[in-house]
Structures are given as structure tokens and as C-alpha cells.
Chains A and B, each alone.
Chain A
């Protein structure tokens, strides 16, 4: 069975600062990993995904994430935060064996201060 841990529920950064959102996973088989973003009053949209092709994955809006098997991590980063990045971010995991559903973390709310 897979699980995802997003420690904490809220991160606050200044505009222009580094964004780092942590995600650790647990999986007994090679995982697929995803980051989703949810802007206020909207549905979730896919930010990026790891499906074993490359360990450093680039997504939309300047975000990227690196798969580190030794650390069982898939942290999301962006070098310079923008006000428009304020949203909630969800990490999710599935397995490469044909799982029927994703397992989501509890989410992390990102606030960007001017």
C-alpha cells in the first residue's frame, strides 16, 4: 500500500523567495508521483508527474520536482515565488503495477507575501 506525507499544512514565503514544498512517500513497489495545484475556488490541476523517465521533472509555471528514491521524496520547488503561486498543493502517489487510484497527501497551503 502506498502513502504520502506532507508535513505541516501551511507555508508562507515572500515574493521572489524560494518555494520548497516537501513530499515523502511510502511504497513497496516503484511509484508514480504527482503534484497537483488548487487555486482558490477551483478544482485541482496537474502541475507535474514522475513516471520513471527522468528523476528531475519540470512542470507548469516554473515548478519542478526531483524524485529521490534513497530519500523516498518528491519535493516541489520553484526558485522565485510569485503572488500568483498562492494556492494549495497536493502530492499524490500511485504504483507502477496498474493501481486503480491515486493516494493523496493532505495538502499544503502556500501563502506568498508581497
Chain B
């Protein structure tokens, strides 16, 4: 009953470094999402996927990349980290977003210094 697992939970990056935020789900959900949450700003969609091999941009994709080679995994890649990418990142999955909503992971808190 793992649900949506995100790693790492915390990370500090230096400006210009790169990293991958991992997201895995064990519920066989086709839909997966990456959001960032900044204080008072709600959730902003970065990228999403409707199935293995299919990804699409959300509201704020610049500076990020994703891939979806399997149903289970949806990693988020940050290239050339910038202070503006300091945020809390949430991954979510769903079998049917309209009817079921999302299951969220516990988040990754990223600080870029």
C-alpha cells in the first residue's frame, strides 16, 4: 500500500546544478502529474502524463523535463537549477482524474542556493 512515493524528501542544490526528482506509484494509474507549491500561490502544474510514453506541458514547464518510460515512474529533471526553482514539488497519480481525483506523494522540498 505504498501509493505515490517521492524521493528525496529534501535537497539543497547549488545554482547551475542538475538533479532528478523521483516519483513512483504502485497503483497502475495511467495519469501522473508534477506540481510545485510556493507559499500563498497554490499548486502550479509543471508537466503531466496520460500514459507511458506520453507527456505534456502544464502551466510552468520552463526549466524542467520529464519522461514516462513505464506506467510506474515519472521522474522530473531540473537542468541548470535556479533560485526561482526553490519550492516544494508534489507528484500525483490518478486512474481517472475527473471521477477519482488524485493521490499525492508527500513532496520534495528543494532549495537552490
A: contact size bracket: 20 to 34
Q: Are B90 and A102 in contact (CB under 8 A)?
A: no
Q: Mark out the residues of chain A between 28 and 81 whose CB falls within 8 Å of any chain B CB in the assembled complex.
A: 32, 34, 36, 42-46, 49, 51
Complex Cα–Cα for A95 and B105 (A) = 23
Is B53 on the interface with A (CB-CB < 8 A)? Answer: no
- For A43, the closest partner residue in chain B by CB is B104
Q: Are B104 and A44 in contact (CB under 8 A)?
A: yes
Complex Cα–Cα for A29 and B103 (A) = 24
Taking Cβ atoms with an 8 Å cutoff, the residues of B that contact A are: 4, 31, 33, 40-43, 45, 48, 50, 58, 90, 92, 97-99, 101-107
A42-B107, A44-B104, A99-B98 given; A104·B90 CB < 8 A? no
Q: Are B104 and A100 in contact (CB under 8 A)?
A: no
Inter-chain residue pair count (beta carbon < 8 A): 58
B24 to chain A: closest CB distance in Å?
Answer: 14
Taking Cβ atoms with an 8 Å cutoff, the residues of A that contact B are: 9, 32, 34, 36, 42-46, 49, 51, 90, 92, 94-102, 104-107
B107 to chain A: closest CB distance in Å?
Answer: 5
A44 partner residues in chain B, CB cutoff 8 A: 90, 92, 102, 104
A102 partner residues in chain B, CB cutoff 8 A: 97, 101-102
Complex Cα–Cα for A99 and B31 (A) = 11
Q: Are B98 and A32 in contact (CB under 8 A)?
A: yes
* Interface contacts beyond A44-B92, A102-B97: sample of 20 additional A-B pairs, CB < 8 Å, sorted by A: A34-B101, A42-B106, A42-B107, A43-B107, A44-B90, A45-B104, A46-B103, A90-B42, A95-B98, A96-B98, A97-B98, A100-B48, A101-B33, A101-B45, A102-B102, A104-B42, A104-B43, A106-B41, A107-B42, A107-B43
